Amino acid sequence: MEGSNHDGHHLLDLPGEVLNILVTKLSEEVRWNGAALSSFRQTCKRACRAADFAWCRQLRITHASQWWKLDRIFRANKQCIFHVQALMINSTYLDSIQEGRFLLRSISRFPNLTYLKLDTWSLGDSGQSLEPLLADLNRELWTNGLAELREADLQLGWSFETLWKPYEIVNLMKAPKLKRLALDTVNLVGFRGEDIPERSTALKHLKLSCCATDEKSLSELLSKPLSLRSLHVCSIRRTSNRLPRALGDWNLRQEIDGIRLLVPLVAQIQPGLTSMSVKFVHIVLPQDTTNEELLDYSQLVSLKKLRIAMPLVSEGGMVSENTSFPANAFDNLPVNIECIELESPRSHGAIDLNQLADALSGKPLPGSLSQLHVHTVEEHCRPFNKECQDKDDVLHRGIDRLMRELSIKRLTYTQRHPHSFEELRYDIAVPYEMFRMLTANKKSTAEDSEAFSEDGRPYELEEMTWKNELRCEGEDWPCENEQW
């Protein structure tokens, strides 16, 4: 970084307030990560002070010692507390509940928080009582008021309190500008929120993962947003008392019962929902599933996009008999559905598009359905050998069949190739994942006369590859326009 111009004046000679504004603005525009900003702060003492506002804009705290260092900055520059926009507290490295309670008490100090993430999983696993910590959390949320909060992510984890005692989320729901709310392992049984009027909150996006609820509580929760646009659900459990003692205590039947409870309520209370994501934890159902297992999405009349994630491989490595993904994912679809996304979230679980084409053969699909997106996690083949080539040929045949036999106009198949631990340790300096995406676009009517002249395909096929560096958690936080 050049610190002077042709007249001999140095950038760091500018007034401190001007420097703070420049550095903060620059960090927002180029989206500096923590390492780049840290390097700039180490240039000199004046650069360190100039970067205070940008440095405090996003805080990720995992140790009590980190808070003491930050507290020194806040004491030296009292304006810093007004620039804190994102606060992430992770309990992974905390030694006790007392440390967690100490860190939670920082929430009320930051009046301009727009993003809040709290993760108490490891404290719950420690066997210590979370009741004092949860009481502190409620008090801090009430004290802060959360006037500027746009997004909140609460991950409680399994503990005695989260198993048996419902956690009251009213103070979060009261945040006037809250648009995104994610709840993970939260017992919602008994939620009422009487002092929150129906259809009064700004909430647009709701995520429920491994939560316990009942019909009345879920109805109350769904009734508070004015207009919910998207809903992400992962393994919600219909119950009258508590969460299971571990995720392994759940089964696919209970996951399906939770979705069957949810869908009619959403259709009745939030009929304007346009996007829904359903993620199952347990292994996929057999292809010959009976009608008793079918999920009826047709009630969601405004739904445009449906994403279904279901593993084809269990955590123990058992491969499902059905690698085509459940064909019943295409039954009882909303009449206005435009896009379906299928995801197999574990390695060795690539979705066989040929089997999927067989399963969908002759199945009536809504005429509005124009896009199909498939996401898989597969082994990174090094080098690309004959076996991999054969698999790739099968993949291309599957794409060809789906584009010819279905009325869809666009199909994408995305492969994510996570590196093994050995590769991460020895082969590369920066951890990253490889991605490959095949995109098929059906040719327009005007090109029909030439569609079969060159390659005999009524669609164009493109291939794209890229890599993503794996950032540390908290290095950046979601933006308003990013997909949740």
pLDDT in tens, 22-35: 666 656 554 445 56
Pairing between β-strand 305-309 and β-strand 237-238 as defined by DSSP bridges = unpaired
Which uninterrupted H or E stretch holds 307?
A: strand 305-309
CB atoms under 10 Å from CB of 416, counted, come to: 18
> How far apart (Å, rounded) are the C-alpha atoms in residues 293 and 295?
7
Widest Cα–Cα separation across the chain: 80
CB atoms under 10 Å from CB of 231, counted, come to: 22
| 59-69 average pLDDT score | 82
Question: Tens digit of pLDDT for each residue in 222-261?
Answer: 999 999 999 999 988 887 545 555 545 556 777 888 888 9
Identify the residue with better confidence: 295 or 275.
Answer: 275
> What global pTM score does this model have?
0.84
Identify the residue with better confidence: 301 or 423.
Answer: 301
> How far apart (Å, rounded) are the C-alpha atoms in residues 371 and 337?
9
Whether the CB-CB separation of 347 and 311 falls below 8 Å is answered with: no
Pairing between β-strand 371-377 and β-strand 339-344 as defined by DSSP bridges = parallel
DSSP 8-state secondary structure symbol assigned to residue 344: E
Q: How many C-alpha atoms does 60 have within 13 Å on its Cβ side?
A: 12
> How far apart (Å, rounded) are the C-alpha atoms in residues 268 and 271?
6
Identify the residue with better confidence: 50 or 186.
Answer: 186
Q: Which pLDDT belongs to residue 395?
A: 92
Exposed / middle / buried, residue 362 (Cβ in 10 Å: 0-12, 13-18, 19+): exposed
Residue 452 corresponds to which tokens in the numbers above?
């079969």
Q: What percent of the chain has pLDDT over 70?
A: 67
